[in-house]
Structure 1
């Protein structure tokens, strides 16, 4: 398929917006949809192809929007449906696609569906959620554990049964095996498609179905693994990634195809995500992409990790398309996770360049274009239920969700006129957009330049990828598409790397670190990169 005939999402770069923390326009300390709209000119100036907006739906906010109480309503804290329509129209005017979250595995316990379901065992929605009788001794039906800690079951006195929840008790599990539930979810998807959205990220979609026989999960040896909660002690064979999920995704794809060229990306959170990712994206009747966690919780960035992750997706387009993030709203920021040296600015340029050289859909999390660091949020300021429950052994979600810094000289760095819902990082005002706009060597302006390189490069957008065998620490990727060939050199280590003689270094350097590579001397300084075009 020639580049001109590719669907818009093939090789597209998305910019993830976490609306609570982007820009507050009504002075309540929380970001909103109008804040995103006001900054669309900035987002468009980056050179990305579209935005993915994290949940803004009606919600009690027990899990900050991932506990949906009305799929077809905007929560008042974020604005109105009219605000969303204005955002969508303005984004399209800038040539930006708009992708939104869809949460199909669970709802809020305040959703009208659950309110009805829990009333009795024989009402019209009695089987819309996962209910089970207790064991004879009163204990839960099986040993499944919730992601945020504790059993995945909560007793409900009305029905005299347990209901299942893979996350918080306030997020009861939908019974997506039920065709009526599928119909209802697809109807909510149609609501947003009719408004003009360009795609969906399907949150925790491998959690959408459960083992119908409710078998116990087997234990997992904790040796050599980081354990923060009981959930980490099980092999989650029966409460996620069930074989029936792809059949539902075929229904999702059929709906999407009614609206033309639409993008669907599956979030697959699993210890062995590859089989599900392939199953969810195989062929042209399922999802267009799957979202990988290969880098999000990785404690180190190594050449072997990149090769292993990218090496799973070297085949034809028919095997599906992966999406990649190095940081997001759930994972600590990568510049803090992967680097503890004196020059985080250079390291942030390195990671952004690497992300944008990967095959598939790179997703740039808000603030990553600034090189924002992870914020150490004190216990008394925590908002995230997972962080509070598992303190101090937390995933660090609050520290990655802190407000965007816009103006160093404005109150709260221009995010809000009042105290924000989470504190800003102490170093973030100096990394603000306003400061970096004035610095031609900033992470922001570097990222813009590299996004322009990717946008103009068929090889980076849609080309094949091959690895060249080189010593540990050095990463060499070759991206090719028709007549264009790029050699992407990365030294991910703390020592200078010698580029072996068998690596072809012909071509023109089109981008490199401030500490330039010695191409003639075949040396790459620590934590640097060079991109050659020939």
Structure 2
């Protein structure tokens, strides 16, 4: 079944680019848009459908671009609007769609909107941000916390009020209860659509609205913590009922979707960080809202097959037919080959298997630059850190710099071929041994296996658009069936460093599929898997008995 061109995003593979660390084209130690354009043939050769580019807008760079001071331009550090236009043109020539990262929940304190809003309480933009009076004793309006530490409220002497900032004090939150704010951010989306963007990744999309009554958050139940937050961060101790994920956001997302649907082939991905991630995922991707969204449920340190099975079981039970975009890595989390190394083995063993698992799940997938090289998390000294999150939480949490170090393109070039000068973050020596030029010369390298699997996946309709039935849990193995029409595909993964056998009680023939790069095989009534291997097999009968314990 051929998907409509407008539905290209269904089951798509999307490659995330962190511009600062991808390719420096002008010798200033920071990656840029021209650098991305230079490397687009490499990205296209991976076999992905689209790229997602992290923020490149004008910014004071307190949070490295996630604090925007002008939504409709390019920071000189990254280039010009003409450079962006050239990037889009080259990407389209290579068959790649272009998604950009819009941070619409908050701006930089230097944004002209906030500069005006903070002057007094009766200017034209006085209500464009979330302002509140102090309590009688001068303390903040409630107990809301910033994800980056401390109160979510920052005192401002000009207005004699607190403003809400869910992240840095220099990142004031926009007030989406103000209709003019909604109109303004939709104009931003319209601007980039007119420049040829194929879609957007919306940062912290469930943070747009806050509780108008400013009610305090209750504590988490004993033994439970907020999702995707280090336990050393007090933000994890609250149930975030009132500072985000408000019902008014669903209405705004419908307005946003109407704008996106005004042009064919546009796609949207929302980032959701929420205590009830699956329920939020379901509500945010149904009813004419976002096309898809991703959560952090597979970006945890637990790497057991039982854990992965539990994540998928919970997703299928709670999220229903929600449109999900799965990821194991991004610019905010420790790289997966380091997170999951203890139980699984080396990066060269882990990375291809995890790609196969990720690329076989129902939904679309996001891959983060360097993932295809099997890059590990860089270990940096405190004096090398740039991330304000890491600096504030050191030493229990080192922040996000370890997954943001520059791409190693050439093993023997200075700074890995990323830049001719000392880069903004160092290139770890161990990453040079995984450089692109080395891996392209090795037929069984992580990079070559990524290319092979992604190209193979492109031609398996059930993996891109089929339903998913989870098979019984196992200590070493994750297994499920994908189905699209008459095509039924058995997918089995050994997430361990020991050989495994997985019994599958089917009353049909199972015939192995080749071309994906793995060596597991079917033996009578079970799948036999060496360590870190996968099996893909077609169920050749139109009827199938219900697998034992299927969800």
The aligned residue for residue 481 of structure 1 is 484
State the Cα distance separating 1:142 from its structure 2 match: 0.6
**Which residue in 2 is equivalent to 1:433?**
436
Cα distance between partner residues in 2 of 1:505 and 1:425? 49
**Alignment check: 8 A CA contact 1:3 1:458 kept:** no
Confirm or deny: 8 A CA contact 2:282 2:320 kept in the other structure.
no
User: In the alignment, which residue of structure 2 is the partner of 1:199?
Assistant: 199
Q: State whether residues 66 and 103 of structure 1, in contact with CA within 8 Å, keep that contact through their aligned partners in structure 2.
A: yes
Q: Which range moves more in the overlay, 14-23 or 319-328?
A: 319-328
Give SS of 1:120's match: coil
Q: How does 1:416-427 map to 2 (within 5 A)?
A: 416-427=419-430
CA drift of 1:484 comes to 2.2
Q: Who is 1:300 aligned against? A: 302
Unaligned runs of 5+ in 1: none
Residue 322 of structure 1 corresponds to 324
- Residue 46 of structure 2 is aligned to residue 42 of structure 1: no
Separation in 2, partners of 1:190, 1:342: 46
In 2, Cα distance between equivalents of 1:317 and 1:523: 32
Structure 2 unaligned spans of 5+: 540-551
Structure 1 counterpart of 2:256 = 252
CA separation of 1:224 and 1:275: change in aligned 2, threshold 3 A:
closer
Does structure 2 retain, via aligned residues, the 8 Å contact 1:143–1:216? Answer: yes
Cα drift, residue 311 of structure 1 = 3.7
* Distance in 2 (alpha carbons) for counterparts of 1:395 and 1:96: 34
- In the alignment, the residues of structure 1 paired with residue 224 and residue 99 of structure 2 have an alpha-carbon distance, to the nearest angstrom, of 38
Q: CA deviation at 1:112?
A: 0.1
Per-residue CA deviations over 1:3-58 (Å, capped at 9, x if unaligned) read: 35771111111000000000001111110000000000000001100000000011
Match of 2:347 among 320, 341, 344: 344
- Describe how 1:484-495 pairs up with structure 2 within 5 A: 484-495=487-498
* 3-state SS of 1:490 partner: strand
Does structure 1 conserve the Cα–Cα contact (< 8 Å) formed by 2:281 and 2:319? no
In structure 2, the residue matched to 1:161 is 161
CA contact (8 A) 2:410 2:437 kept: yes
Alignment of 1:262-277 (within 5 A): 262-277=266-281
> CA shift at 1:306, angstroms?
3.1
Cα distance in 2 for partners of 1:102, 1:308 equals 32
Tell me how far apart the structure 1 counterparts of residues 231 and 318 of structure 2 sit (CA, whole Å): 37
Is 2:532 the partner of 1:527? yes
Q: Distance in 1 between matches of 2:114 and 2:269?
A: 27
Aligned residue among 234, 243, 268 for 1:230 = 234
Q: What TM-score does the superposition give when structure 2 sets the normalisation length?
A: 0.93
Q: Distance in 2 between matches of 1:320 and 1:292?
A: 12
SS at match of 2:483: strand
1:138 positional shift? 0.6
Distance 2:280 2:513 in 1: 39
Residue correspondence of structure 1 range 33-432 to structure 2 within 5 A: 33-221=33-221, 223=223, 227-283=231-287, 285-296=288-299, 298-311=300-313, 314=316, 319-340=321-342, 343-394=346-397, 396-432=399-435
Does the CA-based 8 Å contact 2:456-2:516 persist in structure 1? no
Shifted more, 362-371 versus 511-520: the winner is 511-520
Q: Distance in 2 between matches of 1:487 and 1:201?
A: 31
* Structure 1 residues 38 and 2, CA gap change in structure 2 (3 angstroms): closer
* Aligned mates of 1:449, 1:167 — CA distance in 2: 40
Local SS of the residue matching 1:427: helix
Q: Map residues 448-487 of structure 1 onto 2, 5 A cutoff.
A: 448-487=451-490
Q: Cα gap change, 1:456/1:512 in structure 2, threshold over 3 Å: closer, same or farther?
A: closer
| Deviation, structure 1 residue 315 | 8.9
The offset of 1:331, in angstroms, is: 0.4
More deviation, 319-328/85-94: 319-328
**TM-score for the superposition, normalised by structure 1:** 0.96
Work out the CA distance in 1 between the residues paired with 2:41 and 2:198: 19
- Distance between the aligned counterparts of 1:252 and 1:246, measured in 2? 10
Aligned pairs, number: 532
Matches of 2:311 and 2:178, distance apart in 1: 35
SS of the counterpart of 2:35? helix
How many angstroms apart in 2 are the aligned matches of 1:490 and 1:155? 52
Root mean square deviation of aligned Cα: 2.0
- SS of match in other structure, 1:125: coil
Equivalent residue, structure 1, for 2:499? 496
248 and 10 in structure 1: CA distance in 2 versus 1, 3 angstrom threshold:
same
1:326-361 alpha-carbon deviations (Å, 9 max, x no partner): 010000000010013653201111111111111111
Deviates most, 464-473 or 264-273: 464-473
Is the 1:281–1:319 Cα contact (8 Å) retained in structure 2? no
Q: Say whether the 8 Å CA contact 2:337–2:375 is kept in structure 1.
A: yes
Shift of 1:497: 1.7
User: Is this contact kept in 2: 1:497–1:526, CA < 8 A?
Assistant: yes
SS of corresponding position for 1:39 = helix
Shift in CA distance, 80/512, structure 1 to aligned 2, threshold 3 Å: closer
How far off its partner does 1:532 sit? 2.2
Q: Which moved more, 1:480-489 or 1:432-441?
A: 480-489
Q: Secondary structure at the match of 2:269?
A: strand
